[in-house]
Structure 1
Amino acid sequence: MRLPSDPSALYQELRAAHGPVAPVLLDGDISAWLVLGYRELHQVTADPALFSRDAELWNQWPRIPDDWPLLPVVGRARPPVPHPAGEGRTRRAAMIADALTAVDPARLQGYAERFADALVDGFCARGAADVIREYATLLPVRVLAAVFGFPPEEGPGLAAAVNGDGGTDGGQGLARAVARLLERRRRTPGQDIASRLLASPEGLPGDEIARDLTSLLTAGHQPTADWIGNSLRLMLTEDRFAASLFGGRRSVVEAMNEVLWEDTPTQNVVGRWASRDTLLGGRRVRAGDLLVLSLAAANSDPGIRADRTVPTGGNAAFFSFGHGAHRCPFPAREIAEVIARTAIEVILDRLPDLDLAVPPQSLTRHPSPWLRGLSALPVRFTPTTVVGPEH
């Protein structure tokens, strides 16, 4: 499944040709269903018994080679590696949600402001920057690392590893950093996510906690970075947002909300597997079939949004964080929102005449059907002074 840089027209074509559930081919001509309809996506995500997260059910495993490029997207190794499900998954998800909920909002905001200022200090005197490379792709992982319990000096290295700038050792370096963190927190617990997971009454093995921390860090970073970039792009290219850059915070929140409807960072998600034969959107789905959830297509479904020119305002009925039992945990969403909002507010406060340095139509996106973010966002502004660590 390959998508153009602007997939909205393709979603419309698929919907017109196939309805709310379209047959698609993944890499290697592996068949799957793409769920485009808002109601159908709601149905799938609200029924975990019929549409399971258990990839063991997949009827295509005999055709999947060991080097299939989408194995990381499926999110597991081939059978028979166990995959947590049922009550165990629910308890584990609750444990993670509890650890995230305990994050102090004031401390989170402080980390976000401090690291955002430090990053702006790195380019504010130049009068020009690439907001993606020099800001958006560096900030979320630095803030997440701090609330996870990593020492500040490890933040830049973690950012390089998560962004794939660490070469072939990137993933291994991240794993070693997480292992060191857990060892430190076993000896000296703190008020951080790693310490809370280690102290959980669930008593998970250290390797499982390490995997959870690594997944939380990587899964929380890139969508938040893209949320920052996509929101800034909207505010710098749409007059209704640009006109209010100098006043209030409402425009920032509205832009972020509109991005979740129109330009959501998480476009498509793998996925769900049918536990038995069923009908969905008029399609006969067989037991073991894979359903790819198109969050972006559902958000633009004309059945629920007949006129997409109407501003979304504060409407939060989007699917950008998923839905149902396996949606993004609410505390994780709150953490991402604080980081993204703070990032946007800080750069607009520090560089009030921030403006796009290239024609809007020249901006390009990462070539991915899963995440939607900018490759670069060149900006210009009046050079200003560094505020320093005491700001």
Structure 2
Amino acid sequence: MTFVPEPVRMYGPRFQDDPAQLYRDMRKEFGPVVPVLLEGDIFAWLVIGYRELRYVLGNPQLFARDSRRWNAWDRIPPDWPLMAFVGYQPSILFTEGAEHQRRAGAISDALAAVDQFELRSRTERAADSLIDAFTGHGRADLIAQYAQPMPLLSISTLFGLPDAETPQLVADVTELLNTGPNVMEAHQRIQATMQRLLDTKRERPGPDLPSRLLAHPAGLTDEELIQDMVILLSGGQEPTANWIANTLRLMLTDERFAVTLSGGRRSAGQALNEVMWEESPAQNSLGRWAVHDTQLGGQRIRAGDALVIGLAAANADPQVRPDSYNGSAGNHAHMSFGHGEHGCPHPAPELAEVIAYTAVEVLLDRLPDLGLAVPAHDLVWRTSFRLRALSSLPVEFSPGYARGVG
């Protein structure tokens, strides 16, 4: 009789407390492709091998993005916790083939025209404004008061959004990403904001993303533009916010960075890259769906099976990172931005790094004696199969003055 190992649950304390150890255990028992159970004991395959993951992401004709292929829809309740990430919608996330290339090409062209020097300047101003709000208190939660609002404050300027509308947009996108009780109302307000923005930019174009997308030869419709701009907002917000937060946690808890903490300029870039390898903000993504029966990593995959993209686990694959590995400095081959046609569109990773690096650098320059307000082991990670994100990051520092006041 053949022994068939039980699938591994990707929820609960074991997964939440130490996912890195769980990935190691999975790899030892199953290899690069692991049978798993998502919340509600929904079956899927978790791809944790670096080479296998590149193969999946690089072959959309075999592992496609349209979730309507899923063979488990008859077992998925309408209120399933992960429904927001698999329920089909006509956005760039679920498009395939020529349609995806048309829409992704327009986004990449619009992003490529962003002036990165201007983006850094705008991010510096946004960082100073956030720091000014708490610098006089000597204590702050760097998640709620800094890392979380930081990306959207920068991104909203790229959209040419009026300053008066930015606070509500930040609140709505936060509600949307946290899947809070008012998520539908938040989503409707975001869409309405994007429609007003398109109407304004159609009449008065400017040096911003909506104007470039409206003028692009791809000829995107308003419905396509609204869907894809919402994806740009949410896709740029959550990973970047957690990238900032996880980098600050590393620099505040690891003695290798303590010696340069007062300036931060030499080590901020190294810390940002190390986080992408060791504590990637994007841990897992659901997903891809097998177009037909196939083999992957020694497992038999059926047509319509769901595959979870194990970004963090692939980064730790000993086949590409042996025990003798001496650190991540200078190595940017991590999978944290994805790969293939559905990876982060170029040059989005560069723009996210400008925002994250600037946010970390400005904070450490403004608050040179910044330190944790609690023991490092008391920091709590959020309950999420997708993210590696802290619930809070309480810090203390010598009270200062708002920029331009003292």
Q: TM-score range by the shorter chain?
A: over 0.9
Does 212-221 or 245-254 show the bigger shift?
Answer: 245-254
TM, length-normalised to structure 1: 0.95
Instruction: Give the SS at the match of 1:352.
Output: coil
Aligned residues: 387
| Corresponding position: 1:201 with 2:234 | no
Q: Corresponding residue for 1:147? A: 158
| Corresponding position: 1:71 with 2:83 | yes
Letter in 1 for 2:167: P
Q: Corresponding residue for 2:67? A: 55
Give the alignment partner of residue 8 of structure 1, picking from 7, 12, 20: 20
| Corresponding position: 1:237 with 2:249 | no
Q: Distance in 1 between matches of 2:368 and 2:24?
A: 38
Question: Which runs of 5 or more residues in structure 2 are unaligned?
Answer: 1-9
CA apart distance, 1:6: 2.5
| Corresponding position: 1:45 with 2:61 | no
CA apart distance, 1:302: 1.6
Aligned pair in 2 of structure 1 residues 330, 373: CA closer, same or farther (>3 Å)? Answer: same
Alignment of 1:229-268 (within 5 A): 229-247=245-263, 249-268=265-284
| Corresponding position: 1:215 with 2:215 | no
| Corresponding position: 1:20 with 2:36 | no
Q: Corresponding residue for 1:342? A: 358
Q: Cα RMSD between the aligned structures?
A: 1.9
Aligned pair in 2 of structure 1 residues 362, 112: CA closer, same or farther (>3 Å)? Answer: same
Letter in 2 for 1:360: A
Does 109-118 or 323-332 show the bigger shift?
Answer: 323-332
Q: Corresponding residue for 1:36? A: 48
Q: What's the CA shift string for 1:210-252, capped at 9, x where partnerless? A: 1111111011101100000000000010111111123462300
Q: Distance in 2 between matches of 1:250 and 1:299?
A: 24
Q: Distance in 1 between matches of 2:374 and 2:303?
A: 50
Letter in 1 for 2:119: L
Kept in 1, the 8 Å contact 2:379–2:392? The answer is yes
Does 18-27 or 126-135 show the bigger shift?
Answer: 18-27
Aligned pair in 2 of structure 1 residues 321, 83: CA closer, same or farther (>3 Å)? Answer: closer
| Corresponding position: 1:361 with 2:373 | no
Q: Corresponding residue for 1:320? A: 336
Q: Corresponding residue for 1:288? A: 304
Letter in 2 for 1:161: D
Q: Corresponding residue for 2:122? A: 111
Q: Corresponding residue for 1:157? A: 168
Instruction: Give the SS at the match of 1:349.
Output: helix
Q: Distance in 2 between matches of 1:196 and 1:77?
A: 24
Kept in 2, the 8 Å contact 1:124–1:385? The answer is yes
| Corresponding position: 1:95 with 2:106 | yes
CA apart distance, 1:158: 1.3
Does 200-209 or 59-68 show the bigger shift?
Answer: 59-68
CA apart distance, 1:47: 1.4
Question: Which runs of 5 or more residues in structure 1 are unaligned?
Answer: none
Q: Corresponding residue for 2:136? A: 125
Letter in 2 for 1:346: V
Kept in 1, the 8 Å contact 2:65–2:95? The answer is no
Letter in 1 for 2:126: F
Q: Corresponding residue for 2:323? A: 307
CA apart distance, 1:205: 1.4
Instruction: Give the SS at the match of 1:373.
Output: coil
Kept in 2, the 8 Å contact 1:118–1:388? The answer is no
Q: Distance in 2 between matches of 1:77 and 1:253?
A: 36
Instruction: Give the SS at the match of 1:319.
Output: coil
Q: Distance in 2 between matches of 1:38 and 1:83?
A: 23
CA apart distance, 1:388: 4.1
Q: Distance in 1 between matches of 2:125 and 2:200?
A: 24
Alignment of 1:263-282 (within 5 A): 263-282=279-298
Q: Distance in 2 between matches of 1:155 and 1:98?
A: 24
Does 244-253 or 210-219 show the bigger shift?
Answer: 244-253
Kept in 2, the 8 Å contact 1:120–1:347? The answer is yes
CA apart distance, 1:323: 1.0
Letter in 2 for 1:33: W
Letter in 1 for 2:127: A
Letter in 2 for 1:30: I
Q: Distance in 1 between matches of 2:346 and 2:87?
A: 21
